[in-house]
Chains A and B, each alone.
Chain A
Amino acid sequence: MVHRKRVIAAWLAVQLAGFSAAAHAYLDPGTGSILVQSLLAGIAGAVAVISLYWQRVKAFFVNLRKSRDTPSSASSPDNDGV
């Protein structure tokens, strides 16, 4: 499925962009800390992808509603259609 491929591509883009080691890093950051941050980065990436995906789902329904509604009711509150 096209969407699924896009999700995977976006995920990889987030995860595999090069990590540039900090200049003059005299401190050992610790494996535990780096792995926890990697996890947080993964979650951030996933949230970004899901939110992008969700925007599209939302846009799909909004467009659907717009196409059913009359132009005058399109700007009125939610309880008017779909």
Chain B
Amino acid sequence: MHLRLTTTESDPPALRAEPGSFRDPGGRVYWYGDRVLRTVMPSAAADFEYVEASGLIPHLVERGMLIPQTQRPPEMLAGLASPPAYLLEHPKLDFISHPYEWPFRALQAAALLQLDLYLEALDRGVTLSDATAYNIQFEGARPMFIDRLSFRRYVDGQFWLGHRQFCEQFLNPLLLRAKFGIPHNAWLRGSPEGIGAAELSALLPLRQKLSWRVLTNVVMQGSLQKTRSSDAHSAIAGKLRFPKAAFVRLLRGLREWIASLHPADRQPTTWQEYSRRHSYGSAEADAKRNFITRFVNESQPRMIWDIGCNTGDYSVAALQAGARSAIGFDFDQGALDIGFDRARSQRLALLPLFLDVTNPAPDQGWSQGERRGLRARATADAVLALALIHHVAISKNVPLADVVSWLTALAPRGVIEFVPKTDPMVVELLRLREDIFPDYNEAHFVSCLQQRARIVARETVSATGRTLFAFQRTAGSSP
């Protein structure tokens, strides 16, 4: 099948189907160069028209809850085996993040958006065909729903078909941290469709199971799910109706419950504590902020990635200097939650995400194309890596040249901090182990960096010899 967009351009970009958008036969997302197009197939046209007439869409878009849409003539998209009834164009998002990269607070904000959106929809006679967390994306720390096709006509008495999906992708991962202090990220990455009710239920102690909300949404849902082979149960599903009042009560109950959840961490995480103990008002921190400000002023990056962002101080410095958006990455859950709350309350264009630098999110899901890995999404204009490389090179034994190579592949320019062996942090890292890193020194770091980039600025920012390097990747070394 050859897809093309009817256009007058002499050399139009290729049109390709988004690999993550195949489940709902009602429509699909296509990429046309940088443009995002969504088809609405004839089977979903009546629902689409009903929802358009309900007035729900502009109501949600005005409130920033839903991505805007513009109708395009369906004839624009030629070459599909069956032509769409409607064609929509959405603005392209700067970055697509996955729920297994979100910190607890982000997953919680996304869950609350999903429920708020549903309550608004039901109020206008509209329901949703699913409740997947992948339908939500972030602009800064503000969640936004991106799947227009999920909205369908509500018929009184209909059940909430996405309830199980909501529980598996939002509720159960949040409960994992709220009940046990275990972050959802690793489990959800290994099982991107969610955490099953039966699995979570098996972990819960009896007293937790006695709460009505846990009993119904987790324990009973999990145990009754096992009866799926029984014809009697499927018959029940065909005969009963779910009154709207009960539907609204279920959504409101979940909203109230999820809003009240907090991580059950027994003590502050290492780096949460670190950011509390180390004053960022120090001369060293000021010098770093000034260096980043100059770097941003000179290179004018649109999107920066802050690898090892902690609570986001230097992302904030970059944003204040004029960067349009920042994605912060860290592996410390406590620091990420603080960073997310900060971005939310100060309305910063900063999204803190979970990342283990030595094990970034891979291409995964169906055909390994459904959820793209970190490298495939590396569209940053600049990368910041402050107080990072000693953790990767020494704690994780990654050769210094490889660390530099990985960082410079992420963006065409950036700032990397080199932390020498004489620094107390590195001394601490080497305290209980043999120093097997004869190459870990500034001269070697500089030579590694110069193989891939031009050093455009450098400044020593601490008495212990910590030095910042601003680089610009050289043409021959692009990834």
Contacts and interface: CB of A to CB of B under 8 A. Distances in A.
B451 interface: no
Contacts of B72: none
Given A19-B159, A20-B158, A24-B152, A32 B129 contact: no
Contacts of B330: none
Interface string A11-34: 000111111111111111111111
A26 B26 contact: yes
B225 A14 contact: no
Given A26-B24, A29-B163, A36 B240 contact: no
B243 A32 contact: no
A12 B220 CA distance: 24
B63 interface: no
Given A24-B44, A26-B25, A44-B249, A36 B129 contact: no
Interface in B1-42: 23-26
B239 A19 contact: yes
B206 to A, nearest CB: 19
B217 interface: yes
- How many A residues are at the interface, by size bracket? 20 to 34
A64 to B, nearest CB: 31
Interface of A is mostly: helix
A38 B236 contact: yes
B97 interface: no
B127 A22 contact: yes
Interface in B198-253: 216-217, 220-228, 230, 233-234, 236-243, 245-246, 249-250
Contacts of A37: 159-160, 163, 242, 246, 250
A22 B243 contact: no
Nearest to B215: A36
A40 interface: yes
Contact of B241 (A25, A26, A27, A41): A41
A9 interface: no
Interface residues of B, number: 51
Nearest to A20: B155
B153 interface: yes
Nearest to A17: B241
Contacts of A20: 155, 157-158
A40 B224 contact: no
Contact of A30 (B44, B152, B155, B225): B225
Given A19-B159, A19-B238, A32 B197 contact: yes
A33 B404 CA distance: 49
Nearest to A29: B161
B224 A41 contact: no
Nearest to A42: B240
B269 interface: no
Q: Interface centre among A17, A22, A43, by most B CB within 10 Å? A: A22
B243 A34 contact: no
B221 to A, nearest CB: 4
Contacts of B379: none
Nearest to A16: B239
Contacts of A1: none
A41 to B, nearest CB: 5
Nearest to B234: A31
B159 A35 contact: no
Nearest to B130: A27
Given A19-B241, A20-B158, A44-B245, A39 B153 contact: no
A16 B164 CA distance: 23
A27 B225 contact: no
Contact of B243 (A14, A27, A33): A14
A6 to B, nearest CB: 19
B44 A32 contact: no
Interface of A: 14-41, 43-45, 48
Given A27-B165, A31-B233, A36-B221, 7 more contacts: A24-B129, A30-B164, A32-B220, A32-B221, A33-B160, A37-B163, A38-B236
